[in-house]
Amino acid sequence: MKLTYIEEAYDQIELIGFPLISYFDLIDDVFQNSIKANELKNHINKKVLLYEVLVNTRFHKGSNDKLIRFCTFVDQNGDYFDTVHFSIVIEKYPINGIGVYECYGCVSEEFDFCSLDIIWSKKMRLKPDPRAQ
């Protein structure tokens, strides 16, 4: 019996913690109209939607003693970018592990570097493992 690429990807996630194919190939949700990370500079102070895979996340305590979350993501083209999640967003829209996230936010620029101030985000659903049905 030949395994499907989805079954192979789930085996890889179980064995090594991630698939050897792109997480984008495993998404079961529908993608909406969005931009890529290399287009952020064209949308400064505008609200945009991006799809990306989580690379790293870390917390920092702000001057008001509230948590701020900083994340680094990579898009389908392999371009990296950063996001900022303020305390109200952290509580409403948590980041739950590696996967593809749909992120909506406002593009900001400092020191010639663009990032996305998150308004809302959600983790995209993966296609189910056919063996689990």
pLDDT in tens, 28-65: 998 999 999 999 999 999 999 999 999 999 999 878 88
User: Is there a domain that residue 92 lies in?
Assistant: yes
CB 84 within 8 A of CB 118: yes
Q: Which has the minimum average pLDDT: 29-33, 60-64, 80-84, 85-89?
A: 60-64
Instruction: Give me the number of domains the chain comprises.
Output: 1
In what helix (H) or strand (E) does residue 37 lie, and over which residues does it extend? none
Closest CA to 118 of 59, 53, 69: 69
User: Is there a domain that residue 118 lies in?
Assistant: yes
Q: 67-74 and 47-61: which strand pairing?
A: antiparallel
**Local structure of residue 105 (DSSP, 8 states):** E
Domain harbouring 69, CATH code: 2.40.50.140
Residues 93-111 pLDDT 10s? 988 888 999 999 999 999 9
User: Is there a domain that residue 62 lies in?
Assistant: yes
Residues in the chain: 133
Confidence of residue 133 (pLDDT cuts 50, 70, 90): low
Domain extent, residue 85, equals 23-128
